[in-house]
């Protein structure tokens, strides 16, 4: 069921409070065994979650397998969702754990922003993609030069729109550490981009 869903749906993570509330409603329905609600949740989040996983595992087939495991866990653990964070943050935390576990099994694992960034976002049209390509190349090269810890917090904040609190929960570190990493990551990234430009 999940494999077919991951190939067809392509909605992005919710950006509004209404969408977050909608996610909670879907999750409560999933906890009661509603497969239609599960398909809706997968369709809404799978593209961003897949990209997030791909950055860790650098292998499209493995990322697809991990994605299926993530949503299988969501299906199984829906009733245990405590609501301390948004559903999107909870799903990303599950994905991070699964991706790190899969990455540890591979000796040659490194984050791959180039591969993940090349996955088309259905919200972008061709004109927007072309306009931003040069900026993205410069940014990707700068991001690639950062440490994994710095890339991770920047990715969650800027690409996934997560708050400092959410990032702390996903990564499993104190909020103060997230703020420190953000400060140094932005500073280093600005230096790298200035040097490359």
pLDDT the model gives residue 18: 63
Residue 19 has pLDDT above 90, yes or no: no
Find the DSSP H helices in the chain.
Answer: 2-8, 17-31, 35-57, 60-77, 87-104, 113-117, 126-144, 148-154, 164-171, 175-196
> What mean pLDDT do residues 93-122 have?
67
More confident residue, 76 or 137: 76
Structural domains of the chain sorted by starting position, each given as residue range(s) with its CATH number in brackets: 1-110 (1.10.1740.10), 124-197 (1.10.10.10)
Of the pLDDT bands very low, low, confident and very high (cuts 50, 70, 90), residue 170 is confident
Range in 93-102, 122-131, 174-183 with the lowest mean pLDDT: 122-131
What pTM, to 2 d.p., does this model score?
Answer: 0.57
pLDDT the model gives residue 2: 47
């Amino acid at each position: 069921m999940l494999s077919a869903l991951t190939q067809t749906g392509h909605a992005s993570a919710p950006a509004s409070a209404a969408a977050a509330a909608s996610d909670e409603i879907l999750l409560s329905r999933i906890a009661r065994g509603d497969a239609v609600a599960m398909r809706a949740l997968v369709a809404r989040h799978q593209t961003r979650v897949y990209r997030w996983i791909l950055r860790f595992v650098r292998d499209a087939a493995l990322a697809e397998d991990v994605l299926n495991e993530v949503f299988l866990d969501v299906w199984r653990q829906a009733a245990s969702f405590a609501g301390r964070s948004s559903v999107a943050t909870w799903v990303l935390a599950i994905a991070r754990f699964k991706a790190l576990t899969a990455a540890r099994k591979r000796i040659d694992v490194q984050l791959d922003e180039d591969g993940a960034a090349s996955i088309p976002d259905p919200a972008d049209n061709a004109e927007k993609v072309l306009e931003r390509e040069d900026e993205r190349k410069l940014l990707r090269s700068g991001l690639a030069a950062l440490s994994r810890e710095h890339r991770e917090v920047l990715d969650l904040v800027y690409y996934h729109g997560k708050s400092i609190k959410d990032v702390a929960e996903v990564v499993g570190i104190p909020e103060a550490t997230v703020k420190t990493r953000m400060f140094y990551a932005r500073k280093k990234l600005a230096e790298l981009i200035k040097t490359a430009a």
